Amino acid sequence: MKIAKKEITTFLILLGVMAVIGGCKQPASNNSLVEIDVTASYPEKELILQDFMDVEYIPLETNNEFVTSGVVMALGKKIIIVKNWSNDGNIYVFDRKTGKALRKLNMLGKGPEEYSHLTNIVADEKNNELFVNCLTSKKVLVYDLFGNFKRSFNYIENVRYTDVFNYDSDKLIAYNEMAKYNIGQNKGDEPYHMILSKQNGSIIRNISIPFDVIKAPMIQEGDAVVATSVPAIIPNQANWLLVEPSSDTVYNFNSHENKLQAFLAKKPTTDPEVFLKMGTLTGQYYFISTVKKEFNFSTGRGFPIGDLLYDKQENAVFEPVIINADYQKRQTVDMISHPLNGELAAFQIIEAFQLVEAYKNGELTGKLKEIAAELDEESNPVIMVMTEK
């Protein structure tokens, strides 16, 4: 689906005890939700990626057995887990530092130890386990890092896990997307974020985000239904940002204290609804996207987005333009799509054919230029990994 032209969206920002936009200060309060109604367009703020991020490039090795479209499922300290866009069942394991091809796994099938779809893959390097979330069979299958089956557990009744992450050595954190099938209804007591046992999938803790009426980025016209994604769980260092499309507030869940705290908010929106997508978070910057609930069924275009940047130091909101200095020609960076946890801040997938073309045109410098010189258009992608300075 093509995305319509980016639009700037009015929203509110909450940050601890302070909020200042356009020089308009609010009274400080340790506990109150600070709301700011921003109606003006945001000024553009251009940043050089390398000024606030250390950048490394990992070319994924290409050979007869390892040809992949490069959908990164997990990026750990030792390995990178990749799958294809097609549902061929292939799981590729690459070395995290060098991109060397280590092994290819495939457990696709209809048997009790097989998956029929790779919805999510969680890599637990500490326990040497892979958790494959299979939405079609409504179960999570657990393998070792060499593809040997260990165990599986079924979904809890009336849930559909779309976002699943490694919470700690014993638990997963997951989101139940069933809310979107009840748009306009009252929430009731149903929680949608939950912490699960890695052993049997039982609920260890429900995390309930307060809201009244169920909302979702889904539109129906006659028999046609379209939807877009708003990630519900976003890594935030050792903690997690929890996003519920039905709520105007984004919450931070402190994993050490098991505490839910308001983190950031937008002004309530109607006709159309506007949803927040949280991206990469650093000590100074919050990268955010807005998604407007609009779709033109005649043109097949809709859900216009707008990228936003909250600068904690300046206490202000901008329209960000992030430039990669390893390109001599202006090249922007996606800071929204792939935030990471812990030591790593984010990653971006760079297609080989794009690098080959840029190399031929003399547009690359440094290590990226050296890597591109060894590629051809059919090579596997290069993974750009960003670590906060």
Kindly state the average pLDDT of the residues 170-176: 96
Q: How confident is the model at residue 21, as a pLDDT?
A: 35
Question: What separation in angstroms does the CA of 283 have from each of 46, 53, 312?
Answer: 17, 11, 8
What is the rounded distance in angstroms from the CA atom of residue 157 to the CA atom of residue 242?
A: 22
CA angle 80, 82, 84 (to 5 degrees): 170
CATH for 20-388, among 2.40.10, 1.10.3470, 2.130.10, 3.40.50? 2.130.10
Residues 6 or more apart from 81 whose CB is under 8 A from it? 72, 73, 74, 75, 91, 92, 93, 121, 123, 130
Q: Is the pTM of this model over 0.85?
A: yes
C-alpha 306/C-alpha 282 separation (Å) is 20
Q: What mean pLDDT is predicted for residues 298-324?
A: 92
Q: Whole-number mean pLDDT of the chain?
A: 88
Is the backbone peptide bond immediately before 272 cis, with ω within 30 degrees of 0?
yes
pLDDT at residue 55, as a whole number: 97
- Write down the domain spans for the chain: 20-388
What's the pLDDT band for 2 if we cut at 50, 70, 90?
A: very low
Write the pLDDT tens digit of every residue in 37-72: 344 488 999 999 999 999 999 999 999 999 999 999
pLDDT band at 25 (very low <50, low <70, confident <90, very high): very low
Q: Is 127 left (phi over 0), alpha (psi -120 to 50) or beta?
A: alpha
Percent of the chain with pLDDT over 90: 74
- For the chain, percent of residues with pLDDT exceeding 70: 90
Q: Which residue has the tokens 């302070």?
A: 18
Q: Average pLDDT for residues 123-144, to the nearest whole number?
A: 97
Q: CA 52 → CA 2, 43, 237, 288, 323, distances in Å?
A: 31, 20, 16, 17, 11
Could you read off the pLDDT of 181-230 as tens digits, one per residue? 888 899 877 779 999 999 999 999 999 999 999 999 999 999 999 999 99
Q: Which stretch of 41-55, 187-201, 344-358, 365-379 has the lowest confidence by average pLDDT? A: 187-201
**What CA–CA distance (Å, rounded) separates 60 from 289?**
29
| Higher-scoring residue by pLDDT: 271, 113 | 113
Predicted confidence at residue 29, as pLDDT, reads 36
Where are the strands (E) in 330-388, listed by range?
Answer: 346-350, 382-388
pLDDT of residue 35: 47
Q: Does residue 351 surpass a pLDDT of 80?
A: yes
For residue 36, pLDDT over 50 is answered with no
Separation of alpha carbons 359 and 365, rounded Å? 9
Secondary structure of residue 383 in the 3-state scheme = strand
pLDDT band, residue 267 (cuts 50/70/90): confident
Bridge partners of 317, per DSSP, are 310
pLDDT reading at 14 higher than 60: no
